[in-house]
Structure 1
Amino acid sequence: MLVDTGSCGRIPHACHHGRSENGCADCKVRLISVCSVLELDELEELEALSHHLTLDKGQALFGQDEPAGFVFNVIEGALRLTRLLPDGRRHVMGFALPGDFLGLALQERHSVSAEALGPVKTCRFARQDFAAVVETKPHLLRSLHERAGHELNLAQEQMLLLGRRTAEEKVATFLLSLRARYARAGHSSVTVELPMGRQDMADHLGLTIETVSRMLSRLDRAHAILLVPGGVRLLDLPRLEAMAAG
C-alpha cells in the first residue's frame, strides 16, 4: 500500500494538482462548507495554503491506516468511505458529497479509505497548516464543532438504520437522506442522483445486493419512486417519509 505524502493515490497519472483558478471566494461549495464563516481576507489566507486535487473514477484519495497528513474539502463529485473488517469483509461507512470535509479527525491514521465514485475535485490542506489557521479563528473552530456534531448524529442514525429497520425502511431512509444532503448543497430536486452502485448501497445498509435491487423494484412498482438512469425520482414523498419513520 502506497502512502500519500504529496501524491494522491495508487493509480498513476489519474490525479492532478493546482491552485484554485477562481479562489476560495468563488468556490461553489463555500456556503455549505465549514469555511462559510470566514471573511474574504480570511479566505485569502486559507487559499494560500490550499491546492486543488482531482481524481478519476476508482482512484483513492487516501487509504485505511495510511498517515492522515491532509484534510480535504470535497468540491465536486462523490467518494465512497469504506472500512475493511478484520475478517476481510468490506463495510461502506458512508459517502462524501460536495461540501464535506474529510480528514478532520484527530487520529494519526485514516480509519477508512476514500475512493472516487466518478470524477472528483477536492481542495487539499496540509493538516498542520489547517490546524494552525483554526487555532487563530474561534469562529472556524465553532463551525468545525458544529460539523462534528452533525456527523455524530449521522453516525447514531446509521446505527439505528442498521439495527432496527426493515429492508424497505432502510432503502427509503437512505434515499430521503441523500435527497436532504443534496438539498443542503443547493441541489433540491425530486430526482436523486445515485453515484454509488447497488452493491455500495447494500454494504452501507447491511443488506445484500439482491435485497436492495428487490426493494428498489418494489418501490418503483408501487409508484413511490421511478428508477431513471443514474438515479431515482421520488414520486411519493409522504409515503417514503412514512416508511422511513417506521
Structure 2
Amino acid sequence: MGAAAGFRSSLTLVRKACATCRECDVRHQALCTAMADEHLHRLEDITSPVLLQPNQALLRQGDPCRKVYSLTSGMLRLFTDLPDGRRQITDFLMPGDYLGLVDDDFHSQSAEAVVASSLCAFPINQMELLMDEFPSLRERLHRMARAALRQAHDSQLMLGRLAPLEKLAGFLLMLDARTNHHPHHGRRLQLAMSRTDIADHLGLTIETVSRCFTRLKAQGLIRLPEAHLVEILHEGRLAEIAGIGLSPEHLRLAAS
C-alpha cells in the first residue's frame, strides 16, 4: 500500500465511522462518551455527517462559527495564514478530537483534511440546548477543553525550543501520547501528515526536518520502516532531547 496507508481509509470505512453513535469507532473517547446509550438518539437527531477527501477544506479562517465538529476518522490540520503568504500549522486533530472550542463568532484558523476523514457536525445552538439538558455532556466538553489547553501549553514549550532536533523529538512524543494509549517498547507511530506539514508546524524547513529524522534514526532512537511510519525505540532518550517538561509521563497526562 502507499504512503500513510494506515490513515487512508476507503469510503466504506469512512461511512462506517459516520454510522450510529453506538457503532462509532470513537464512541468512548469522543464527546458522545458522556451520553448514556439510551440517550444517544438525542445526539444523533442533531448530527449530520461530513466526509472530506485529502486536502479538502472543512472551514476557512474568517468563516462564521455555526457548527461544532467531532472527528471520527482520519486527520485534520489546523493552520493560520500569515501576512507573507506562508501558513503556520497550529495543530493536527485526531479521531475523537472536538473542533469548535471557541468563544468568537468567526473561526480564527482554517481546517483541512490531511487524509480522507469523517466528522460529525452539530449546529451550535442545538448543541447548547442538549448540553443544558444533559449536564454530563457539558462537563465532558469542559474536560476536553482543559486537555486542549494543556496540549497547547506543551506545544508552546516544544516550539519554544531552539534546536530543530528538540522540536522534532517533542513532536513525535506528543503525537505518540495522543495516539498510543498502551505504551510498550518499540511503538509504531503512523505519520499521516507530510514532511512539509511537519515543517510548517515546527517552524522549520522541510530539509531540516528530513535531516532531524535521519539523525534520530542514526542515534538508534527511532526506526523509519516507511516514509510515513516511525517506530519509537527509546522514549526516555527522546524525552531528554525534547527538554524539561516534555517527559513521557507528562505527555500522557496532557493527552488524557
Q: TM-score, normalised by structure 1?
A: 0.87
Q: Hey, what's the Cα distance between the residues in 2 that align with 1:240 and 1:159?
A: 18
Partner residue of 2:213? 216
Q: Hey, what's the Cα distance between the residues in 1 that align with 2:165 and 2:102?
A: 33
Partner residue of 1:25? 22
SS at match of 2:55: coil
Partner residue of 2:236? 238
Asked if 1:37 corresponds to 2:34, the answer is yes
The count of residues paired between Structure 1 and Structure 2 equals 230
- Structure 1 residue runs without a partner (length 5+): 1-13
Q: Hey, what's the Cα distance between the residues in 1 that align with 2:16 and 2:102?
A: 25
Displacement of 1:20 in angstroms is: 7.6
Q: Which amino acid aligns with 2:99?
A: L
- Give the share of equivalent positions with the same residue, in percent: 37
Per-residue CA shift, 1:132-182, capped at 9, x if unaligned? 111222111111111111111111112211223421111111111111111
- Residues 68 and 243 (structure 1 numbering): CA distance in 2 closer, same or farther, change over 3 Å? same
One of 130, 133, 139 as aligned partner of 2:127:
130
Q: Hey, what's the Cα distance between the residues in 1 that align with 2:243 and 2:183?
A: 24
Matches for 1:108-123 after TM superposition, within 5 Å: 108-123=105-120
Partner residue of 1:77? 74
Q: TM-score, normalised by structure 2?
A: 0.83
- Structure 2 residue runs without a partner (length 5+): 1-10, 245-256
Q: Which amino acid aligns with 1:89?
A: R
Question: Contact between 2:158 and 2:242, CA under 8 Å: does it hold in 1?
Answer: no
Higher relative contact order (CA 8 A, sep 6+): 2
Question: Contact between 2:16 and 2:24, CA under 8 Å: does it hold in 1?
Answer: no
Q: Which amino acid aligns with 1:73?
A: S
Displacement of 1:21 in angstroms is: 6.4
Partner residue of 1:204? 201
Q: Hey, what's the Cα distance between the residues in 2 that align with 1:40 and 1:84?
A: 41
SS at match of 1:233: strand
* RMSD between superposed Cα atoms in Å: 2.2
Q: Hey, what's the Cα distance between the residues in 1 that align with 2:137 and 2:131?
A: 6
Partner residue of 1:62? 59
SS at match of 1:173: helix
SS at match of 1:30: coil
Asked if 1:195 corresponds to 2:192, the answer is yes
One of 74, 80, 92 as aligned partner of 1:95:
92
Partner residue of 1:153? 150
Q: Which amino acid aligns with 2:32?
A: C
One of 170, 178, 182 as aligned partner of 1:181:
178
- Residues 21 and 174 (structure 1 numbering): CA distance in 2 closer, same or farther, change over 3 Å? closer
Displacement of 1:103 in angstroms is: 1.7
Per-residue CA shift, 1:183-224, capped at 9, x if unaligned? 24x798711111111111111112121111110010111111
SS at match of 2:51: strand
